[in-house]
Structure 1
């Protein structure tokens, strides 16, 4: 082999060597990128499946929105934290159902944690519009709200409208129970007084008319509450927090004092609370009284006449009169306010 041929062969060997290193390097990079690409595709698939299952399950709930999802791979599968805006804390069984759906779709064990942020969604007075479910992108989901959940959402809107002018009533929560006889809406309210069956019936008819469903039934679950200001137990908010001038304050004190003395002049009667608030040219007065018997309509008229006679003030007096006393060896005492 000539010297020229040997040099040419050596050059080719060097070139091939350099290309071999480059090819090997590119192969290694391709393997790494391919692995990363597969991981990325798998992560995207997992994200898509998780979001799809959560949307499908949560879209059936009223006033609920998925706000964020956190995925954390573990040695045993995947841990998921789903944050949702919801009108009430989701029940553990619901999280279990969603968790099982996720595990079946992903083909691996799933630990699901639901982070619930309690929110309430209302619309304008007179409206029964339903806000659709919003997915993680803030877009309206194609999954339709089920009829029971739509009914629940509309009923809550109407109930809040109806109670808007009732200062002493507050709607805490509303739930739906499906029975063979039809839907039953159970409403938890805060109120110092037990609602009468007549008022519940009237509200039930009102709901039936607004929702055009005569099968709806209403149940009221009362949470007993009491409110006390520096003046005392609150019966009429206007008597405690109203913008009364000095003259009105004096008349208020005189009316309340006269009625308290007149009632407690009766043997073993106790005035637990009494509130007077101006209403135009007259006064509204409400009170809580406990005693050995109930005050009669004649007693109420006599008390109103006494205020008119002694203070020259016209009053509309109504008393919640209870037959109740606390009894001890020392005698009778006023029972606890409830």
Structure 2
């Protein structure tokens, strides 16, 4: 065994002539000049652009340009050969090149191009022991390529440049942004890679026999001293990065535990899925922000149960906030499935749907199909509740009026047929909206939006006067639009009694004469008045007068809907409401 290792090392050693040739190449590459600094500046700018754009391809371009690997080889070769001239040139080249790369990175960071921190930048501000190991292998590969002519130096050169230029550019970008902690982390990554490459390349050169000329004249002691310094630096950096790696491993373990716990709790609800997690450890308390995709918000008790489960799993105090992103998964008619997180084979749909989820999905699909032909009805939400132990489909609708039982029966029958459950009940919860703009309640959208129709406005004013000519009748809303050769009017009338069909026909006839065209009026007649000790007032007028009184007291201008100043309320109106 020992003989085979010795034979391998002997085959790895280079001759005197080749050793001198390698030393000459390293010395030329370690001599700084205009071309050297130009390449450093170019590489730093390219790396900065790639880091800001989060583009690994651009960063690789910077790796190809950078010449910073050569001075490190010069340092390692000068250490084992005792060549002080080579050491001086290499130190000058490496330090000045490093400073230049940081400076150009900082200059690029001062330009208005860095809008946010990218993952490529963050990856170089938190070095670990793994980064040090990468540098070790990269340094060995690069040195081996110089010693063995059969190995192309291209790929090892890229590997070494990877460990040098991007951290320096990141350091400059962080300094430009005022992020001193990030700049320190990026420079530490550079220094760790520098020390690792220096030590490994020195050992490789030593194994190749490049230091054997100094073995008989005290050179061995010099080489040992130089290597001891490199080894000490390597061990110190390794110890620090080991602690960093341990902290990162602990943090990732905690993140995994939090994610596993929340996903396990969400598995009970196939419609909910975890999107992102943010954590902040305060020492005695862990704050967690969980962004969840769900069709409806979580209730506080569910969040409390999730928080308790996390505390039991992590063994410490947890403060959980669930940020709910409300989503709906809509399938084609008759389709049911559950959208899950993508698996390794790319699947994201599961046909194994729990009974309640399938019942809810089919009910929602059925209702959406029915309401697609009824644009005046808007389906807001569908839920499954249990009333007296029986499952009930709760459909929340927005409609211009409450649904009548016959309509609810139609919906219920369709849902029963689709689900095959003749005993299933449906409960329609109606939300009747009231749309109001500066002109009043909207009865016809065309009367409030689009080009103004002066003839329709004139008809509306005539119809309003005709209605309010009736005793104790008030128009709270009235819209008129054209319909062929005539007009259609819709009004909301309040009074002490209901308007009769005869009165509607009389109003239609009088307004038609004034307009010179047929007029059809339909009215929502209500007995809905505010009654004071002096008069009847519709609720809207009562409210408007109270608002005007408040403006009068504060000195605010009083205006009508048309923008004209409204006269103050008369003395009898001051007693509308006891004070």
Deviations 1:56-78 (A, max 9, x none): 33355576443321223343353
What is the rounded CA distance, in whole Å, between the counterparts of 2:530 and 2:296 in structure 1?
A: 40
Deviates more, 1:268-277 or 1:200-209: 200-209
Which residue of structure 1 lines up, in the alignment, with residue 429 of structure 2?
A: 220
Which residue of structure 2 lines up, in the alignment, with residue 102 of structure 1?
A: 310
What is the rounded CA distance, in whole Å, between the counterparts of 2:417 and 2:447 in structure 1?
A: 36
Which residue of structure 1 lines up, in the alignment, with residue 328 of structure 2?
A: 121
Given the superposition, is the C-alpha separation of residues 271 and 164 from structure 1 closer, same or farther in structure 2, using an over 3 Å criterion?
Answer: farther
Q: Does 1:276 align with 2:485?
A: no
Q: Does 1:44 align with 2:248?
A: no
Deviates more, 1:155-164 or 1:53-62: 155-164
What is the rounded CA distance, in whole Å, between the counterparts of 1:80 and 1:136 in structure 2?
A: 25
Given the superposition, is the C-alpha separation of residues 168 and 228 from structure 1 closer, same or farther in structure 2, using an over 3 Å criterion?
Answer: farther
Deviations 1:165-209 (A, max 9, x none): 8777665555442222222415264x6644444444444445545
Which residue of structure 1 lines up, in the alignment, with residue 525 of structure 2?
A: 321
Deviates more, 1:23-32 or 1:205-214: 23-32
Deviations 1:34-90 (A, max 9, x none): 655554444333222322222233355576443321223343353322123444432
CA contact (8 A) 1:200 1:220 kept: no
1:267 corresponds to which of 467, 471, 483: 471
Which residue of structure 1 lines up, in the alignment, with residue 18 of structure 2?
A: none
Structure (1/2) with the larger helix percentage: 2
Q: Which has the larger radius of gyration?
A: 2
Q: Does 1:229 align with 2:433?
A: no
Q: Does 1:185 align with 2:371?
A: no
What is the rounded CA distance, in whole Å, between the counterparts of 2:297 and 2:318 in structure 1?
A: 21
Q: Helix, strand or coil for the counterpart of 1:48?
A: helix
Given the superposition, is the C-alpha separation of residues 151 and 287 from structure 1 closer, same or farther in structure 2, using an over 3 Å criterion?
Answer: farther
Report the CA distance between 1:238 and its aligned residue.
Answer: 1.8
Given the superposition, is the C-alpha separation of residues 41 and 313 from structure 1 closer, same or farther in structure 2, using an over 3 Å criterion?
Answer: same
Which residue of structure 2 lines up, in the alignment, with residue 56 of structure 1?
A: 264
Given the superposition, is the C-alpha separation of residues 325 and 166 from structure 1 closer, same or farther in structure 2, using an over 3 Å criterion?
Answer: farther
For structure 2, the 5+ residue unaligned runs are: 1-221, 544-579
Deviates more, 1:165-174 or 1:307-316: 165-174
CA contact (8 A) 1:130 1:154 kept: no
What is the rounded CA distance, in whole Å, between the counterparts of 1:217 and 1:264 in structure 2?
A: 44
Given the superposition, is the C-alpha separation of residues 253 and 23 from structure 1 closer, same or farther in structure 2, using an over 3 Å criterion?
Answer: closer
Which residue of structure 1 lines up, in the alignment, with residue 572 of structure 2?
A: none
Which residue of structure 1 lines up, in the alignment, with residue 218 of structure 2?
A: none
Report the CA distance between 1:280 and its aligned residue.
Answer: 4.0
Q: Does 1:330 align with 2:534?
A: yes
What is the rounded CA distance, in whole Å, between the counterparts of 2:512 and 2:413 in structure 1?
A: 40
CA contact (8 A) 1:66 1:136 kept: no
Q: Helix, strand or coil for the counterpart of 1:99?
A: helix
CA RMSD, aligned part only?
A: 4.6
Given the superposition, is the C-alpha separation of residues 262 and 23 from structure 1 closer, same or farther in structure 2, using an over 3 Å criterion?
Answer: closer
* TM-score (norm: length of structure 1): 0.71
Report the CA distance between 1:317 and its aligned residue.
Answer: 3.1
CA contact (8 A) 1:60 1:144 kept: no
How is 1:135-154 mapped onto 2 (pairs within 5 angstroms)?
140=348, 146-149=354-357, 151-152=359-360
Report the CA distance between 1:213 and its aligned residue.
Answer: 4.9
* Number of corresponding residues: 323
* TM-score (norm: length of structure 2): 0.45
Structure (1/2) with the larger strand percentage: 1
Report the CA distance between 1:134 and its aligned residue.
Answer: 4.0
Higher RCO, 1 vs 2 (CA within 8 Å, ≥6 residues apart): 1
Report the CA distance between 1:288 and its aligned residue.
Answer: 0.5
Q: Helix, strand or coil for the counterpart of 2:472?
A: coil
Q: Helix, strand or coil for the counterpart of 2:339?
A: coil
CA contact (8 A) 2:382 2:393 kept: no
CA contact (8 A) 1:61 1:145 kept: no
CA contact (8 A) 2:284 2:317 kept: yes
